Structure 1
Amino acid sequence: MNPSRFARPLSRSFRHFAQPAKPTLPRVVARSLSSLPQYENILIEDSQKPGVALIRLNRPKALNALSSALFVELNDALKKLEEDPETRAIVLTGSDKAFAAGADILEMSTLTFAEAYSKNFIAPWSYIMTLRTPIIAAVSGHALGGGCELAMMCDILYATKTANFGQPEIKLGTIPGAGGSQRLTKAIGKSKAMELILTGNNYSGEQAEKDGLVAKAVDGGNKEVVDLALTTAAKIASYSRVAIVAAKEVVNKSQDLGIREGVEYERRIFHSLFGSQDQKIGMKAFAEKKKPEWTHS
């Protein structure tokens, strides 16, 4: 959610951005995904990296403001990519001007409590959290309100140094509703999170890196941060999918468990991997100084 003007129809000063030249249709990630529909609010692009999918939010007239229609498409694409055995990492990005400038305020402005509560409004936004495939957010431009929350739902967050993060819901008389208060606090600590949420102040990608919210902030724009994300995603995708899924699982468990319980949980998953073929392949290849040929089983 986001009170920023960017979630509303753009002013004349942004119309040159709202009417881009007609792009050529991007190629799909893999042959097995050639049946994906041509979505209206997102693009599935060819990452040029084996095992890596690239999703681009694509609502330029609203600076990628997050709507229910966008999440129907995003969740459908994520589900199909999760089911694709060739996809072992996903990169999620927007444009130079906006990763996502917030929630679509016009869509939610007339909701009543009964409607929002009974329909569990914005709950589908959290579908991304159920995926076992690692997801890297590549943020440039605005990542405000719901856009900031969506970026924080990803497993790794990269940004440009000039990216613009924030949870300014307080300016609308409301609060973050898609996990912003919880994830931001865990990432940067209570005092800093409280300051940002109570004041509605924004902060840069450079500051987000210093605070630990962003893994790395880079110079340049969307191309540079996407290149970094794709490089990392390709490295992840080069490993055993079984180990990738297990590694993501144990790190995420650290957010829910105390250190003792977390270590015990990690050890159980570690033990279970000795039942996989890839553990045998990996250790045998290491001993023989060869490159492992993963079976992903």
Structure 2
Amino acid sequence: MNVINKFVNPLKILSNSAWRLNRSYSSASNEEVVFEKLGDNRQGVVVVGLNRAAAKNAFGQNLTRRLSNIISDLQHNKEVKVVILRSLVPGIFCAGADLKERKKQTPDEVVKFVSLLKSTLIGIEQLPMPVIAAVDGPALGGGLEMALACDIRIASNDAKLGLVETRLAIIPGAGGTQRLPRIVGPSIAKELIFTSRVMNGKEAKELGVVNHVVDQNGTKDAAFQKALQIADEIVPNGPVGVRMAKKAIDKGLQIDLAVGYAIEEACYAQVMVTKDRLEGLQAFAEKRKPIYKGE
């Protein structure tokens, strides 16, 4: 039981009903990360948009801190059902680290910044709700590491994806050496990292780096539109069930199968006591769509 409790904290992730994202995360064009809550039929969907056009969305101090703050607030918000991470800058997803800024940093400052970036991407990875990356342009180095931290990845056919750090005589330092092997297997991950190979969307799909590849067909946000379609499929489902399913999968991947089964059982126990489960049964009996409240 102690092992289970280590991985499953019963409904703690759902306990804070307050809407904490109230720090004036506006859609102002001067913000390097823009936060938007969608409305109408997409209530519960949040879009986090990278908006640092001058540096191709490269991870500088300001962008990274702002992204970190937004992710921290999302961590405890049960009203959010899906997060979509995208770029608001045409033709680029994220160019990785801001090398011009890094060139001016001392070695100690570089280490501190990489630690901040890593913790930010871990924060994305550990969000309780599904996170979808819409890659409509190049995602290189830290940009791909950020996409790998998401649950679902969609790339346009002309996107460019690669962990290219060995070209600079360094290694991926924000989780790339750990996430990529778990997604595509160690042998493929080693080849991609050792060679600094850059893939297009189709190649990334064939290797399992992304879930879907979409044609632009004159649309500059094709991956984002696909992300919205997937979000539309997730939103009607029980939010507690979706979050517990994510927790069971993520935690189960970290340990042996026997303990994984125990984690799944513990997560299932959490959905058994929800009003949503009763609503789902009632809606099924009445042959109507359920109305879930996340409780």
Q: What's the TM-score, normalizing by structure 1?
A: 0.82
Shift of 1:110: 4.3
**Match for 1:236: what amino acid?**
I
**Separation in 1 of the partners of 2:48 and 2:95?**
17
Whether 1:37 aligns to 2:25 is yes
8 Å Cα contact 1:89/1:234 also seen in 2: no
Whether 1:125 aligns to 2:120 is yes
**Separation in 1 of the partners of 2:52 and 2:124?**
19
> 1:280 is matched with which residue?
278
Give the unaligned 5+ runs of structure 2: 1-18
Percent identity between matched residues is: 33
8 Å Cα contact 2:48/2:86 also seen in 1: yes
Describe the shift of the 1:257–1:97 C-alpha distance in structure 2 as closer, same or farther (beyond 3 A): same
- Alignment match of 1:242 (pick from 240, 243, 259): 240
> 1:141 is matched with which residue?
137
Give secondary structure in 2 for the equivalent of 1:99: coil
Residue deviations 1:237-283, cap 9 Å, x none?
22222112101111112321222221221122112311111111112
**Match for 2:119: what amino acid?**
P
- Alignment match of 1:78 (pick from 57, 71, 90): 71
8 Å Cα contact 1:47/1:230 also seen in 2: no
**Match for 1:159: what amino acid?**
A
Moved over 6 A (4+): none
> 1:179 is matched with which residue?
175
Residue deviations 1:159-195, cap 9 Å, x none?
1111100011111110000111111111112222111
8 Å Cα contact 2:118/2:175 also seen in 1: no
User: Which stretch shifts more, 111-120 or 248-257?
Assistant: 111-120
> 1:109 is matched with which residue?
103
**Separation in 1 of the partners of 2:58 and 2:188?**
25
Describe the shift of the 1:121–1:110 C-alpha distance in structure 2 as closer, same or farther (beyond 3 A): farther
Residue deviations 1:59-115, cap 9 Å, x none?
111111111211211122233344444321111101331110111112223444444
Give secondary structure in 1 for the equivalent of 2:221: helix
**Separation in 2 of the partners of 1:72 and 1:117?**
15
> 2:152 is matched with which residue?
156
Residue deviations 1:131-174, cap 9 Å, x none?
21211000011100000000110111111111100011111110
Please report the RMSD computed on the Cα atoms of aligned residues, expressed in angstroms.
2.2
Shift of 1:121: 4.7
**Separation in 1 of the partners of 2:25 and 2:246?**
29
Question: How many residue pairs end up in the alignment?
Answer: 267
**Separation in 2 of the partners of 1:255 and 1:101?**
29
**Separation in 2 of the partners of 1:123 and 1:208?**
23
8 Å Cα contact 2:136/2:156 also seen in 1: yes
> 1:208 is matched with which residue?
204
User: Which stretch shifts more, 183-192 or 83-92?
Assistant: 83-92
> 1:264 is matched with which residue?
262
Describe the shift of the 1:32–1:115 C-alpha distance in structure 2 as closer, same or farther (beyond 3 A): closer
User: Which stretch shifts more, 72-81 or 50-59?
Assistant: 72-81
**Separation in 2 of the partners of 1:213 and 1:87?**
26
Shift of 1:33: 5.7
Q: What's the TM-score, normalizing by structure 2?
A: 0.83
Give secondary structure in 2 for the equivalent of 1:265: helix
**Match for 1:97: what amino acid?**
G
